[in-house]
Amino acid sequence: MEKKKRWITGQRIVCILLTVGLMALVVWFSSQSGGSSNGLSRKIVEMVAGWFGVSLGPDQMEFWNLVIRKAAHFTLYFWMGVGAAGVLLTTRMKKRWQFLLAVAVCAVFAASDEMHQWIADAARHGSAWDVVLDTVGSGCGSAVVMVLCQLLVEKQSHSKRRE
């Protein structure tokens, strides 16, 4: 039993660090000027295009820049959802509420981040669509954690029945 408690405490710490670390990263990205943020995603597009030996025109650059920016939103919040769900799995809360709370925490954070962008920098604008995308990302990450946890529990109970 003591070993299980240590494992749960370790899981909780790792997941809290993941979630808070990603929140800090999101705040850092959001505190950059619109030009700096756009420049970073453009550099990523140019680097990937270079790997494939592709030359992009202005319209293609804008399109792929948007794709990179939205993929970054989804990916950061996917992993934030993984972390938040991982923390909540260590509680006695029902699974449904663990999932909903993990997604809600990430959604509220996403909304506050977009408001921060809107207030802090006139060159940047918060977007409700980004909040939706972030929420979907965190929902997907949380769902993956919940499904994997359920599969693990079923596997453990199945192997115990065979013993």
More confident residue, 49 or 36: 49
Give me the pLDDT at residue 163, please.
61
Q: What is the pTM of this model?
A: 0.87
Question: What confidence tier does 15 reach under pLDDT thresholds 50, 70, 90?
Answer: very high
**Is residue 96 over pLDDT 80?**
yes
Q: How far is CA 84 from CA 20, 46, 138, in A?
A: 9, 33, 9
Q: What is the mean pLDDT of the chain?
A: 89
Give me the pLDDT at residue 130, please.
94
pLDDT tens per residue across span 119-133: 876 567 778 999 999
CB neighbours of residue 44 within 10 Å: 16
Instruction: For residues 92 and 89, give the distance between their C-alpha atoms in angstroms, rounded to a whole number.
Output: 8
Instruction: For residues 45 and 49, give the distance between their C-alpha atoms in angstroms, rounded to a whole number.
Output: 6
